[in-house]
A and B are shown apart, each in its own frame.
Chain A
């Protein structure tokens, strides 16, 4: 069965970086995009971008990306272990959120399976 298993919770200081992993199994890793979505406490879902595990191509877009995290986020993959990574640098207090990976479904524009989420807390 399809599974996306994320790394554990992190506590980081402002200005530091965090790298969250999303280990996939149960399907052909290179056949589906992986998206990253975050959710601040008590808030809605915020899309961060996607990675194409086949080519390694990425898109760090979104309406508010310029303000929120463009230039600070990097998505990578390791095809040998079917794992995708999301690294966010120069952390700010308002980066405190649960970060989810989500597998693109039959098209990149949707998702069908989500990871369990990783809580990243930014605190001095």
Chain B
């Protein structure tokens, strides 16, 4: 099995762009799709990116996902930051039959 490692926290100012990384410990990041979930305090997670870079309907195009095979990592970028983007973000991938979550990143918009 592999692990997904995320930074514990990131912060940025409103209107700026922030990027959150998710590094896979073994095996290729490109082997299995990566999803990103947003979780606001006291709420259930919601999907902001699926299949590496696809936005579900209703998710603003300020959110984008990508993968980088050279660093074996996935990234979530949020542009034009708003205070409402302040939340925990989790990456998630899978192996043959199991999900794997990253440890989560707390985004502070200040």
Please tell me if A25 contacts chain B, counting CB pairs below 8 Å.
Answer: no
Residues of B within 8 A of A44 (CB): 88, 90, 101-104
Contact (Cβ within 8 A) A100 B44: yes
B47 within 8 A of A: yes
Given A63-B1, A109-B94, A110-B33, A47-B47 contact (CB < 8 Å)? no
Q: Which of the four size classes fits the interface of chain A? A: 20 to 34
Give Cα A70–Cα B56 distance, bound, in whole angstroms: 32
CB<8 Å pairs between A and B, sample of 18: A35-B99, A37-B101, A44-B101, A44-B103, A45-B90, A47-B100, A47-B101, A59-B97, A59-B98, A62-B100, A63-B98, A109-B94, A109-B99, A110-B47, A110-B50, A112-B47, A112-B56, A115-B44
Name B's A-contacting residues (CB within 8 A).
Answer: 1, 3, 32-33, 35, 37, 39, 44-47, 50-51, 56, 88, 90, 92-94, 97-104
Which residues does A use to contact B, with CB under 8 Å?
A: 35, 37, 44-47, 50, 59, 61-63, 100, 102, 105-107, 109-112, 114-117
